[in-house]
Amino acid sequence: MKKQRPRGMIINLIKEFFISHPNEEFEHAPVVDWVTEQVVKSGYETPRDIWRSIRLLHERGLLVKVDEGIYKYDPDYEHESDLQEFPETIKQEILKRDRYRCVICGLGEEEGVKLHVDHKRPKSKGGDNSLENGQTLCSQHNILKKNYGQTTAGKKYFIEIYASAVRNKDEKMIAFCESVFDAYDEHGYNGHIKRPDGEP
C-alpha cells in the first residue's frame, strides 16, 4: 500500500512550479505533468484533479488567469507569506533525509505521530528555506521548539529524559543529563529554565 500524501502537497508543488517560472504563461498540462512527477517520485499515488488546485490558487489570488485554462504567476501580485514556507520538494527531501522521523524523539508516522518540517533558524530571525535549515519534528516537539527555540527545547527535552532516568534509576543517564545541564550553565544558555537536579 502506498503512503498517504501529506495535506497541501499538491497546492505547494503548484505554487513552487509557478514561483520558479515568474511571468511565464502555462496551460494545465506542463504543470500537471511536473507536479505528478514530483508526487510519484516521493512515493505517493498518482494524483488526480491537479487542475482543480490550479484553479483554486487562482481563486486565492496567487495565479493570474491569462486566458481560459492559461495561468501565470506575477511576483508583483504575490503575497509575502506564500514565499516563506519550504518549497514542497525541499520539504520532501528533508523528510526523506530524516528518515520520516522526528529528529528529537525518533517517532514516525508508523507510531501515529504527525510530522512537521521545521525551520531550525526561524524565518523571523533570518532563517531560509534551505535543506540545511530544515528538520523533521513530531507535533509535540514542533510545539516545544516553536514556543522555546532550539536550545531551550533541548534543555526541556533533557529535563524529560532526566525525569525518566530518575524513575528508572538509570545512573548512567542521570550523570549524562547532569553533564548536559552543566554545559548549559557553563556556556550561559537558558539559565531561566531551572535544572531539575537541584543544582543552582
Strands of the chain, DSSP E: 25-27, 64-67, 70-72, 115-119, 134-138
Between 40 and 143, name the residue whose CB sits nearer to Zn ion: 143
Between 50 and 138, name the residue whose CB sits nearer to Zn ion: 138
Spatial separation of the C-alpha atoms in residues 39 and 31, rounded to whole Å: 12
Spatial separation of the C-alpha atoms in residues 136 and 99, rounded to whole Å: 9
Between 160 and 171, name the residue whose CB sits nearer to Zn ion: 160
Tell me the β-bridge partners of 135. 118
Minimal distance in Å, beta carbon 175 to Zn ion? 24
Minimal distance in Å, beta carbon 139 to Zn ion? 8
Between 111 and 128, name the residue whose CB sits nearer to Zn ion: 111
Minimal distance in Å, beta carbon 106 to Zn ion? 7
List interacting residues with Zn ion (CB under 5 A): 102, 104-105, 138, 141
Which residues, at least 6 apart from 24, have a Cβ–Cβ distance to it below 8 Å? 72, 73
Minimal distance in Å, beta carbon 43 to Zn ion? 22
Between 13 and 115, name the residue whose CB sits nearer to Zn ion: 115
38-57 b/e (C-beta count within 10 Å ≥ 16 → b): bbeebebeebeebbebbeeb
User: Do strands 115-119 and 134-138 pair parallel, antiparallel, or not at all (unpaired)?
Assistant: antiparallel
At residue 154, the 3 state secondary structure works out as helix
Minimal distance in Å, beta carbon 159 to Zn ion? 15
